[in-house]
Chain A
Amino acid sequence: MTTKPQQSRWLRFARVVLPPMVVGAVIIGIWYLFSYVVLDSDRRFLLRAPHEVVRKGFLDGDNFGEIMSGLASSCRVALVGLLIATAIGLALGVLMSLSKVLERAIFPYAVVVQAMPVLAIVPLVGFWFGYGFYSRVFVCVLVAIFPIVVNTLFGLLSADSGLHDLFTLHEASRTTRLRKLMFPAALPAIFTGLRISAGLSVIGAIVGDFFFGQGEAGIGQLLKKYASRLQGEQLFAAVIVSSALGVTVFLVFGWLARAVVGEWSEESRGR
């Protein structure tokens, strides 16, 4: 029998890190190619070179400070929105899992909320509730609630019928069944929903802010301002920061899911 030689840690590390780094380098190369070769100098504002973006967007204290405070504002909105969406979503999911009638009564409206285009809602929300913090949170909740509702419901209903029989045989009450069987069984699905909703909540916060265009400036308003003033460097920096926020949220909730249910759930392992 031949055994595979142990790969050194470095080699394994390089195999994981190198491929995306190569692609990143290629993308930056193409970016430079466009900035300096394809575009004339008088049209270069369309795509500023990467080092210009870094210099003016990230290293310039004023600009970076503005972007960061916008980011902080959007973060707060997204976080509060996500918390509220989670609370309402969990409650609705549990409610619907209790009876088929309630499921039939509520589920269609959850779908309607999901199907409504955000763009159509945002002006209405501003019209009704003004352009303050809570209106933005409201938009986030609308955008983020559906995955939590659906995943909670399907998660709660996913518990094995044999296990339900077991609980029935031993005369478990409804709350015991929910607490000891259905809810733990739903956790992996709930975390999947949470991860999707967290990303949506970030998008909701930015889109809401973008279209409100008033009140405390979040990333959305900054994007709009930089675009209208042709400040390409800051625009790019704001876009990069927004994506970084989205990626961070995705990673954090993935980590959270693994920490809570990773030990037993097949679903949340190795992702």
Chain B
Amino acid sequence: MSDLSLRDISLTFPDGTEAISSASLAVSRGEFVSIVGPSGCGKSTLLRIASGLLTPSSGSVTVDHSSVGYVFQDPTLLPWRTTRRNVELLAELRGVDPTIRHERADRILSTVGLLEFADHRPRTLSGGMKMRASLARTLMLEPAVCLFDEPFGALDEMTRERLNGELIEIFLAQRFAGVFVTHSISEAVFMSSRVHVMSSRPGVLLEPIEVAFSYPRSPELRFSPEFAEVCGRVARTLREATS
């Protein structure tokens, strides 16, 4: 039984446009899956459906909603809270005992390298640090399923690649079921064990492309011909799907 399974999900907006057409996806703990597609193809919408924020027109979602983490495109930190208090927010909403909460927050803050910025407010953090705080906030709860909606899209290339590596390290430690939405092919291939290409209007999930490289993956992988070959396959599928 997969930890997240979407079966035959379709979504039609009230004006009749079909956003997503019979999409199916199953992800288990220990799998990291990416969905790549052009902007506006419905990838984010699919995540919203998976999380329960949006109800599909038809199809079924099977997931334990109390154990879903969601990392948004924006860091969505509370500007009035310090980094530590921001990271603690979800645990607070979930009613986690304060002492356990503080301890876990410290641990995850040191994992993402933000411990010395724990008492800073978001305003004084860089874009990369804000995103790290946002990741820490979600991953602190150690969710069974974690959804990522293009979290690194607004970051510069170097920061993005570093965060790709850091996220994979946490993934390897926690072994959640990861679904990562992006429009960067190399990011998807570098992190995932499987890449789904999504066509646009209506959004349809195509046959997945398996990525066989073993974890942990070194940053050097990005420069290997095998890596380029997989990226090329994803790119071709994407081009065919959108032409």
The reply to whether A168 and B93 form a contact with Cβ atoms under 8 Å apart is: no
The reply to whether A264 and B72 form a contact with Cβ atoms under 8 Å apart is: no
The reply to whether B94 and A170 form a contact with Cβ atoms under 8 Å apart is: yes
Which residues from chain B contact A162 at a C-beta distance below 8 Å?
72-74, 76
The reply to whether A169 and B76 form a contact with Cβ atoms under 8 Å apart is: no
C-alpha gap A253/B93 in the complex (Å): 33
C-alpha gap A75/B122 in the complex (Å): 40
C-alpha gap A168/B52 in the complex (Å): 9
In chain A, what residue has the closest Cβ to B69? A169
In chain B, what residue has the closest Cβ to A176? B93
A160-B76 contact, Cβ under 8 Å, with A170-B90, A171-B93:
yes
The reply to whether B72 and A263 form a contact with Cβ atoms under 8 Å apart is: no
The reply to whether A169 and B53 form a contact with Cβ atoms under 8 Å apart is: yes
The reply to whether B76 and A163 form a contact with Cβ atoms under 8 Å apart is: yes
In chain A, what residue has the closest Cβ to B77? A163
Q: How many residue pairs bridge A and B at CB < 8 Å?
A: 49
Please tell me if B104 contacts chain A, counting CB pairs below 8 Å: no
In chain B, what residue has the closest Cβ to A159? B78
The reply to whether B121 and A263 form a contact with Cβ atoms under 8 Å apart is: yes
The reply to whether A165 and B72 form a contact with Cβ atoms under 8 Å apart is: yes
Please tell me if A243 contacts chain B, counting CB pairs below 8 Å: no
A169-B74 contact, Cβ under 8 Å, with A184-B80, A264-B79:
no
C-alpha gap A162/B76 in the complex (Å): 6
Partner of B90, one of A165, A166, A263: A166
Please tell me if A214 contacts chain B, counting CB pairs below 8 Å: no
In chain A, what residue has the closest Cβ to B68? A169
Please tell me if B70 contacts chain A, counting CB pairs below 8 Å: yes
Please tell me if B217 contacts chain A, counting CB pairs below 8 Å: no
C-alpha gap A160/B89 in the complex (Å): 16
Please tell me if B123 contacts chain A, counting CB pairs below 8 Å: yes
1/0 per residue, CB under 8 A from A, across B112-124: the answer is: 0000000001110
Please tell me if A266 contacts chain B, counting CB pairs below 8 Å: yes
The reply to whether B78 and A169 form a contact with Cβ atoms under 8 Å apart is: no
Q: For the complex formed, measure the closest distance between the CB of B152 and the CB atoms of chain A, giving whole angstroms.
A: 16
The reply to whether B93 and A264 form a contact with Cβ atoms under 8 Å apart is: no
* Residues on B facing A (Cβ under 8 Å): 51-53, 66, 68, 70, 72-74, 76, 78-80, 89-90, 92-94, 121-123
**18 A-B residue contacts at CB 8 Å?**
A162-B74, A163-B78, A165-B70, A165-B76, A166-B70, A166-B76, A166-B90, A168-B53, A169-B52, A169-B53, A171-B93, A180-B78, A181-B78, A184-B78, A187-B80, A264-B121, A265-B80, A266-B123
A162-B74, A167-B93, A181-B78 given; name 20 further pairs at CB < 8 Å.
A160-B74, A160-B76, A162-B73, A163-B78, A166-B89, A169-B51, A169-B68, A170-B90, A170-B94, A171-B93, A180-B78, A180-B89, A184-B78, A184-B80, A187-B80, A261-B80, A263-B121, A264-B123, A265-B79, A266-B123
